Amino acid sequence: MYDLGWSTTGSMSWFRCLHTASVLLNGQVLVAGGYNGSGGGSVSSSELYNPSTGLWTSTGNLRYSRQAAVVFVLTNGKVLIAGGNIGGTSYLSVAELYDPSIGNWTMTGSMHHSRTSFSACLLSNGKVLAVGGRNGGGYLRSAELYDPSTGVWTMTGNMTYVRSDHTTSVLDNGKVLVVGGYGGTYLNTAELYDPSTGVWTMTGNLNYPRSLHSATVLPNGKVLVAGGLNTGVTNTAELYDPSTGVWTITSSMHDARYDYFSGGILINGKVLVAGGHAVTHILNTAELYDPSTALWTSIANMSANRYRFTMSVLTNGQVLAVGGCGGFSNTAELYKT
């Protein structure tokens, strides 16, 4: 498949980073909240991107301005946003629902713990699992479940380790793999959550401790973890095999990078990473990992240096990169193959 590279598309009305992005069932992309360096902090605004026109339109505002929240499109098509912070030490437990049919946010049940720098995933049963993070009380090992049918969060089993800035991946067997993170020290540990029992068990350790890394479930069921921060910034990558619970080293990225740089898996099965933070600067470079060869290939650079931005795989197979810290961007661009 020929690499057509990156091209600019319409710009948002707001400068933002640490925002959320969700591909709705109708194919549009909902961007919400984030941090606006030129606007004085966290924002409550939301915008919709239409891939057919390349234009953004404003939609309903969040009830709470927030950055570094988690977001998921539920099976009923509504969008759940939860947690995050307003800046500084104002951590949030509140959650909201966006209804695309009316373009409004409404409050839903609050989490039991305020959380930022946490992770979450949508389980096969339609519930959302929120894991770890940090708040004013320190780093968290707790986890809780959101039930869309009741709008209520319930506590579930605690992880063995406190951790923030980790990753969470749903495996093909329905279990949840939590990897790395930071909890006063950089972690190389990994744990598995079983939704049928609510219990966590330890699994194999990473070869390298890392936080603010990427994690992608490949078509073959293995999990690719790449980059991240430990005592420095790493370009290393490794693969988790759910059948053995063992991590093996795979080829390294061309650039060491951390902090919101994963574009996820493309329709051709390759994994896109772009941007992120290097040792001394913000990146605009991009590369692809091919599971069939276990090799990374550099591709065209983005038009802007970006980290703490979002990348979303659209229903047409293109990837939309939006915003970012550093320059507090309102720009967006598309990667096409």
Residue in 279, 292, 283 with CA at minimum distance from that of residue 250: 292
Minimum mean pLDDT range among 85-94, 118-127, 272-281: 85-94
pLDDT confidence bin for 177, thresholds 50/70/90: very high
Q: What does the pLDDT read at residue 39?
A: 55
Q: Residue 1: pLDDT above 60? A: no
Mean pLDDT of 217-224: 97
Q: What does the pLDDT read at residue 330?
A: 94
Q: What does the pLDDT read at residue 40?
A: 58
Q: Residue 45: pLDDT above 70? A: yes
Q: What does the pLDDT read at residue 337?
A: 83
> What CA dihedral angle connects 5, 9, 13 and 19, to 10 degrees?
-30
Mean pLDDT of 168-196: 98
pTM: 0.96
Mean pLDDT of 15-19: 94
